[in-house]
Amino acid sequence: MPMVHSGQYPIEYYYPGLGTGPNYNTTGFGPTAENCRFTWTDSGRTFGRKPIFEKQYVGKCIDIRVEANYTRCLDSVVSGTYDPPFAGADEIPMQCCPTASGPIKYAIIGGEFPPSLLFDIDTGSMTGQIDTLQEINPNRFGFIERKEFTEIDYLDGSIGGGKVFFTVRAFDSGNTSDYSDREFVFHIRTNWALRRDRMLLNMNNQSYLDSMKEQGFFVGPGCDEYEEDIF
């Protein structure tokens, strides 16, 4: 399944081997690798501070992004570089000093990235909506075919939450053979209010509710609803 990217140029512009449509193949990215020429910022700044729920909108109520910079060395004067927090410039091995050919770009190269999220190649930011765990990986989290539940069995097949793993590549846009890959984790919590509504409403009422929501009725309180774990 193609990862959904956006940016000034499509991801195939940088990695032509990916192909398009049914010919899309993530092996076109080549093997994964770590590269000391790149220094990643602490993902805990964005991935760990706020809870992430199923069907939550990203980019509107919560900002999620990844970020890497070229590693700074004494003999490397590259715009936008900086000292890694764990070492001074004089402690960086010479092989880690980058010779940058272009600005850093990003790509999702594998894993279980939510299909309704859009990943920005140029900024590493994400926008869209967090899918349910069953939608992200039905084989691992289980797929529920039942549409009608009672007050007794409405939790059958449900789970409290789960971890979703995916891999991001930061690469030199002028030399795509120079890159660094890192695995990230979404700790997605089940949106119990949404699941309860879906399971308890019959099909006619669900259709009515969906139709009214499309017309702008029954909207939530806005971004404040994600400030605390209220579900």
Q: Which fold has domain 5-226?
A: Immunoglobulin-like (2.60.40)
pLDDT digits (tens, 9 = 90+) for 58-116: 887 777 889 998 887 765 444 445 445 444 555 677 777 777 888 999 999 988 899 99
Compute the Cα dihedral for 112, 66, 59, 160 and give only its sign.
positive
- β partners of residue 120: 6
Cβ-in-10-Å burial (0-12, 13-18, 19+) of 186 comes to buried
Residues in the chain where the model's pLDDT stays below 50 = 44-45, 76-80, 82-83, 85-87, 203, 221, 224-231
Domain ranges for the chain, please list them: 5-226
* CA Rg value for the chain: 21
